[in-house]
Amino acid sequence: MERRDFLGTLSAPVLAACAVCMGACSKSGDSSTTAPTGVNFSIDLNGSLTTVGSSLAQSGVMVVRLAAGNSAGSFTAVQQACTHEGVAINYDAQGTRFVCNAHGSVFNTSGAVTTGPAPRALKQYSVSVTGTTLTITG
Ligand code: FES
């Protein structure tokens, strides 16, 4: 069957759905780079983020322990999606920085871009500690 013949057998709704999908798949730098909003979750520090340099991702946010002790200054939390094309960043504990392995963007622990191509900083979230509970909001 020729391509033209095959396309002729498809109904209009199927063709419309394909056009929408193809348009969505070809975009870059779209909403996938957008930082989550309305973030509000807590982490029990008795079982998580116990060592300096440890990290975890939750609700689109990367949370890292930067220093010993359970105070807000011992942690940072930034959006997980790189601002370039939305690939999930990783925490590089040795370099004390966030790295996106897709195209090499690097961010400091506050989320600021130190190496592109990322066009803007990662959103940084507020962190607070009450006892052994770390809360991330923003
Ligand atoms: S998606 Fe992160 S550098 Fe391109």
CATH code (residue 37):
2.102.10.10
Looking at the domain assignment, is residue 109 inside a domain? yes
Looking at the domain assignment, is residue 11 inside a domain? no
Domain span at residue 111 reads: 31-137
- Mean pLDDT across 123-130: 98
Integer Cα distance of 126 and 42 in angstroms? 12
Ligand 1 lined by 100 (C-beta under 6 Å): yes
Looking at the domain assignment, is residue 39 inside a domain? yes
Ligand 1 lined by 82 (C-beta under 6 Å): yes
Ligand 1 lined by 84 (C-beta under 6 Å): yes
Looking at the domain assignment, is residue 7 inside a domain? no
**Which residue among 100, 107, 115, 120 has the greatest number of ligand 1 atoms within 8 angstroms of its CB, and so is best to mutate?**
100
Looking at the domain assignment, is residue 55 inside a domain? yes
Looking at the domain assignment, is residue 73 inside a domain? yes
Looking at the domain assignment, is residue 2 inside a domain? no
User: Tens digits of per-residue pLDDT, 5-61?
Assistant: 444 444 443 333 333 333 333 344 444 899 999 999 999 999 999 999 999 999 999
| Cα of 27 from ligand 1 centre, angstroms | 14
Looking at the domain assignment, is residue 4 inside a domain? no
Count how many Cα atoms sit within 13 Å of the Cα of residue 36 in the half-sphere of its side chain: 20
> Omega into 36 within 30° of 0, i.e. cis?
no
CA 95, 96, 101: angle at the middle one, nearest 5?
65
Contact 49, 59 (CB under 8 A): no
Q: Which two tokens stand for residue 48?
A: 């998580």
Could you tell me which of 106, 138, 134 has the C-alpha nearest to residue 48?
A: 134
Task: Assign 119 a pLDDT band (cuts: 50, 70, 90).
Answer: very high
- Number of domain units in the chain: 1
